[in-house]
Amino acid sequence: MAERSVLVLATRNRDKVSEMQRLFADLPLDGLRCALDFPDLEEVEETGTTLAENALLKARAVAEATGLMSVADDTGLFVDALEGAPGIYAARYAGEGCTYADNREKLLRELASIPSPRRARFKTAMALVDPRGEDGASEHLVEGVLEGEILSEMRGEGGFGYDPVFYLPAEGRTLAEMAIEEKNKISHRAQAAAAMHQYLRGYLAKTSQRGARGSA
């Protein structure tokens, strides 16, 4: 049973790992690992046309390679004035190998002539794949959405990615101006993780009961 309740976060992004470790810390798991713990894992090409497809691609690949439960997420930034761009390509908006700063700078250039408010939303799709589910591989998909606006300049030192330019009118702050504990209560990824957390708690309880019956 112990091996069964190890969960692998299917990402090498240390910022994502740090956030998700906090969000899943109190689950009844025997281990919480990430793709960095498996140096032989190959990079998964994100060939999906939606966030959900990409999240499932990554979770399936890591679950198959490790034989362990895997959770993957894919996040996009959708800006109304740019007809939804950068969308699912938010992480590489400025090109392959780009930095967070490169992406932000390109976004601000694209929006330079657009007056405020420049409405936008973050969306996260999060997928769980258990390669040893009761009927083969078990899969579950959840999502989270955070509405906001894109500022014309960066504010705040926290967070990562587009956080310094993503403004929350109800909070009067950008995500980068919020403490990580505050962000983890409202963010798109936190919403998806909360839904996944709730599902996993029930799922782990069921698999634990099946394991107990099997060993009786």
Please tell me the distance from the alpha carbon of residue 144 to that of residue 187, in angstroms, as a whole number. 8
* Dihedral angle sign, alpha carbons of residues 203, 209, 212, 213: negative
- Start-end of H helices in the chain: 14-24, 51-66, 100-110, 180-186, 188-215
Among 73, 74, 130, 163, the active-site one is 74
Residue listed under structure tokens 């919403």: 191
C-alpha closest to that of 145 among 176, 117, 166: 166
Question: For residue 207, how many other CB atoms are within 10 A of its CB?
Answer: 19
Phi–psi pair at 93, nearest 5 degrees = -60, -40
Residue 59 to residue 70: CA distance in whole angstroms = 5
Structure tokens of 203? 């799922």
End-to-end CA gap in the chain = 13
Whether 15 sits among the annotated catalytic residues: the reply is: no
Question: What is the rounded distance in angstroms from the CA atom of residue 103 to the CA atom of residue 196?
Answer: 28
Catalytic residues: 74
